[in-house]
Amino acid sequence: MGKVITLLTDFGLKDSYVSEMKGVIYSLLPDVAIVDISHEVRQGDISSASFLLLRAYRYFPRGTVHLVVVDPGVGTSREVLCCRTENYYFIGPDNGVLAPAAENDNLKYIFSLNLEELPVALKEVFSGSFILEKIKTPSSTFHGRDIFAPFACYVSTGSPIIRLAVKKERMVATSLPKPVLTEGGVKGHIIYVDRFGNLVTNINVSLIEKDSEVFLKSGYQVISFGKLKRAYAEVKQGEPLALIGSFGTLEIAVNGGNASEKLNATVGDEVLVMKK
Amino acid sequence: MGKVITLLTDFGLKDSYVSEMKGVIYSLLPDVAIVDISHEVRQGDISSASFLLLRAYRYFPRGTVHLVVVDPGVGTSREVLCCRTENYYFIGPDNGVLAPAAENDNLKYIFSLNLEELPVALKEVFSGSFILEKIKTPSSTFHGRDIFAPFACYVSTGSPIIRLAVKKERMVATSLPKPVLTEGGVKGHIIYVDRFGNLVTNINVSLIEKDSEVFLKSGYQVISFGKLKRAYAEVKQGEPLALIGSFGTLEIAVNGGNASEKLNATVGDEVLVMKK
Amino acid sequence: MGKVITLLTDFGLKDSYVSEMKGVIYSLLPDVAIVDISHEVRQGDISSASFLLLRAYRYFPRGTVHLVVVDPGVGTSREVLCCRTENYYFIGPDNGVLAPAAENDNLKYIFSLNLEELPVALKEVFSGSFILEKIKTPSSTFHGRDIFAPFACYVSTGSPIIRLAVKKERMVATSLPKPVLTEGGVKGHIIYVDRFGNLVTNINVSLIEKDSEVFLKSGYQVISFGKLKRAYAEVKQGEPLALIGSFGTLEIAVNGGNASEKLNATVGDEVLVMKK
């Protein structure tokens, strides 16, 4: 072992899609460890997928290949990318899903896969593999199995990426908003709602001055949460609070409850942090 | 590593059932790789499980043991089978769930497990294993853990199957329908609806003549999809289309949407492909 | 391989939380096998989690580290425990979630983690690991990744637990009820409802005399199930029955159906077994 490939898709776990990707990966790399980041991304939700990748990527061993298949443009001419960063490889479609994580880890090179070279290069590296015959004519709707998975295996071996890809200067940018410094403090947005209904913002702890107060704009309402708390249990059961979440940014939560439902708030809503 | 066992059940992921099977497997085969095909099959839905197995089995390394526990007859006298095919082993109850995949991979032998020989043979191969004592008296409702999982481990080692099973000529046939060639083209059926609402049919690409047109019969309606498309993006967002899916058969989909909901169509509905 | 760490949380699979824990674990122990017991425990449902752990723990190899993060008290002063039992290690918050399993496996020692020693001890055992820098300042809301996961890795290596923890005599007790012997038989409770709607009780098979009859009290109703059956198929489709489940306790089920819905029964309801 030692090598890790992570998977992040919107395929769900009901069907066999994810398992087919894993079958291809184990066929080519019997000793790899495969970790699911999530397969429950909403269909085509590039923004949420890019957030999950940005959160999770850094907790994996150096050299991990992070493979993302949230790919509403499958079958069109959108490109297939591999980003080489300081510590990791990121593989996915050129739709912005890789950008936040790759840039966060000090992006070094962007490669665009040459689809015609892929089967040739695979044959060189994994000569004689049983599986190559089965994926050599890619399905037009499931590049995850037929293109992305074997490409990730190729990259995971450390083989030269330039053999089957060309460098490019730019990729599609992220649609995740950035926080803005204002006179009174910081203005940011909810960028993700987790399973517990916690409202994750893009306002990093480093932007928040001591004793600032937190506000949420939801529809016509402005809700105040007072100062940052340290733990859920600092407020009563069912009460809302603002705290720094495990992503290192401001989060709005309800102790033992669901903030998104209770506050009727969701991705895109504005959050303000006002200096004292 | 190198050895793979796949799991396909209707146990879901909320309870600990699947993990107990994995615990038994790792107890007997510490170096195996376990891949989940799906555990979200609807309770007792043999037909959908057999479809998922048929799709996925071929993407795994030669020698993989595919274990299926969708077993409404657990505790009755239904037999426990191991099918030896050209490249794989298939283990599951004798209820038709293995048939499509095993026959597709050139079925060689069908074995029926002798339940009384199982604990004896396990002791020979995995002598001294801590776990054997715990599963030696099988629960009447959870053969997945107590019978199927250790049987799969035994088979995965390459030990002679005939030691604990008898050959048989026939197994319960599949209930998946087959497409029929008609004067005007091909008549088939929807055999699976995936997480995205895509309608997967049993009409293989090889049966479809160039420029054929596709129709769906749903209730009293007949819906036309025109000719096959190559990719979702060839029609507008929200529009339906027919294309060849990643299983190599005709699928009906909605670009960026849910065809099953939009067309009110589901498993069993008739699909017609008419020659030009 | 050979080493196993199991995970049992209420984090769900939609977000990246579980994957971040796995990333940390593979960073420290590249050759470990990680098995998910469940991540679909209802938020903060300590009782159900403790039941799943009690069911599943025993089917894993000796030396397995069972890690449970169902932790409504995260960020408060609740302690982090490691229970050393006859065959396993159990790690989790001191809220009762470990107690049933640890006591069932002949509890030997209870250790309480010294949070300040953790990063120092990790550095000694996993010197130079890339990941340690990233988790050295634990988030106040996600101890699963920053404290529990690395603690589990430390324990899995067999390093002395006393290096970073102190022994204690007692832990928070379980809230799972115990069955009571009565003059007429046994009185117990439903302690878990599984995905199929099966009603799992705490009445062990060893407490049930031959030919006893089974009753369920649900609201003002008392429902009789007659004597124990051996298999679902002994009653007609849709009919309820009582049998010994795969946990070795009395269960109430509906053949091919959902007993919880059909009988309107759930956790906490009383079950009576009356001697003949």
Encode pLDDT of B93-109 as tens digits.
999 999 999 999 999 99
Query: What's at C186, amino acid-wise?
Result: V
**Facing C73 at nearest CB: one of A1, A61, A233:** A233
Whether B1 shows a pLDDT value over 60: the answer reads no
Q: From the list C1, C52, C87, which residue is nearest B15 (CB)?
A: C52
Mean pLDDT of the B21-30 span? 97
C1, pLDDT greater than 60? no
| Domains in chain B: boundaries | 4-168, 180-274
Q: Supply the pLDDT for residue A233.
A: 85
Instruction: Tell me C228's DSSP state.
Output: P
Measured between beta carbons, the chain A residues lying within 8 angstroms of C9 are none
* pLDDT > 60? residue C197: yes
Residue of B nearest to A30 (CA): B2
Query: CB neighbours of C69 closer than 8 A, spacing ≥ 6?
Result: C7, C8, C9, C10, C11, C21, C92, C93, C143, C144, C148
Contact C152, C21 (CB under 8 A): no
Q: Which residue of C has its CA nearest to B22?
A: C35
Work out the minimum CA distance from B246 to partner chain C, whole angstroms: 25
CB–CB of C232 and B15 under 8 A?
Answer: no
Residue B134 has pLDDT above 60, yes or no: yes
- The pLDDT value given to residue A1: 46
Quick one: pLDDT at residue B238? Answer: 94
Which chains contact C through at least 3 pairs of Cβ atoms less than 8 Å apart? A, B
- Asked if B129 contacts B27 with a C-beta cutoff of 8 angstroms, the reply is yes
Longest alpha-carbon distance in chain C: 67
Please spell the DSSP secondary structure of chain B, one letter per residue.
Answer: ---EEEEEES--SSSSHHHHHHHHHHHH-TT-EEEEEES---TT-HHHHHHHHHHHGGGS-TT-EEEEE--TTTTSS--EEEEE-SS-EEEEESSSSSHHHHHHT---EEEEE-TTHHHHHHHHHTTT-TTHHHHSS--SS-HIIIIIHHHHHHHHTT--GGGSEEEES--PPP-----EE-SSEEEEEEEEE-TT--EEEEEEGGGPPTT-EEEEEETTEEEEEESPBSSGGGS-TT-EEEEE-TTSEEEEEETTB-HHHHHT--TT-EEEEE--
Residues of C in contact with A59 (CB under 8 A): 19-20, 23-24, 27, 131, 134-135, 145
pLDDT (mean) for B266-272: 96
Q: Is the dihedral of CA A96, A97, A101, A106 positive or negative?
A: negative
pLDDT at residue number C68: 98
In chain B, pLDDT over 70 holds for what percent of residues? Answer: 99
The CA radius of gyration of chain C, in Å to the nearest whole number, is 21
Domain C4-168: CATH architecture, name and number where available: 3-Layer(aba) Sandwich (3.40)
Average pLDDT over residues B115-125: 96
pLDDT recorded at residue B176: 94
pLDDT value at residue A140: 84
Q: What is the average per-residue pLDDT within C159-167?
A: 97
Q: Please give the residue that has the higher pLDDT: either A100 or A73.
A: A100
- To the nearest whole Å, the CA of B166 is away from the closest chain A CA by 30
Q: How many C-beta atoms surround the C-beta of residue B106 within 10 A?
A: 10
Please say if the pLDDT value at position C147 is more than 80: yes
What is residue C60's predicted lDDT score, i.e. its pLDDT?
98
Rounded CA separation B92/B49 (Å):
11
Instruction: State the best of C54, C192, C195, C198 to mutate against chain B, taking most chain B CBs within 10 Å.
Output: C195
B30, B76, B134: residue with CB nearest C1: B30
Q: How far is A225 from chain B (nearest CA, A)?
A: 35
Kindly state the tokens that stand for B54. 């048929």
Neighboring chain B residues of A15 at a CB cutoff of 8 Å? 38, 52, 194-195
pLDDT in tens, B136-180: 988 888 999 999 999 999 999 999 999 999 999 999 999 999 999
Please check the confidence at residue C219 and state whether its pLDDT lies above 90: no
ipTM of the prediction: 0.95
Decide which of C14 and B73 is more confident: C14
CB contact under 8 Å between C134 and A58, yes or no, is: yes
Contact list in B for residue A17 (CB cut-off 8 A) is: 194, 246
Look at B30 and C33 and tell me if their CB atoms are within 8 Å.
yes
- For residues C225 and C252, the answer to whether their CB atoms sit within 8 Å is yes
Contact across the interface for B76 and C244, Cβ inside 8 Å:
no
Query: What does the pLDDT read at residue C182?
Result: 93
Q: Which of A1, A26, A146 sits opposite B35 (nearest CB)?
A: A26
Residue B184 in contact with partner chain A when CB distance is under 8 A = no
Asked if C228 contacts C208 with a C-beta cutoff of 8 angstroms, the reply is yes
Q: What is the mean pLDDT of residues B235-261?
A: 94
> Least CB-CB distance to C59: which of B1, B30, B134?
B134
A230 and C146 in contact by Cβ < 8 A? Answer: no
How would residue A2 be classed by pLDDT, with cut points 50, 70 and 90? low
Q: For the segment B205-225, what is each residue's pLDDT rounded down to a tens digit?
A: 999 999 999 999 988 889 999
The confidence score (pLDDT) of residue C2 equals: 62
Kindly indicate the confidence band of residue A74, based on its pLDDT and cuts at 50, 70 and 90.
confident
How much is the average pLDDT of A23-51?
Answer: 96
Report d(CA C149, CA C154) in Å as an integer: 9
Q: How many Cβ atoms sit within 10 Å of the Cβ of residue C237?
A: 11
- Mutation to test the A interface, candidates B195, B235, B241, most A Cβ within 10 Å: B195
* H helical segments located in chain C: 17-28, 46-56, 99-104, 117-125, 132-135, 143, 149-156, 259-263
Q: Do domains A4-168 and A180-274 have the same CATH topology?
A: no
CA-based nearest residue in chain C for residue A230: C140
How far apart, in whole angstroms, are the C-alpha atoms of residue C224 and residue C200?
Answer: 16
B3 has a chain C CB within 8 A of its CB: no
Q: What is the CATH number of domain A180-274?
A: 2.40.30.90
Q: Tell whether the model's pLDDT for residue C181 goes beyond 70.
A: yes
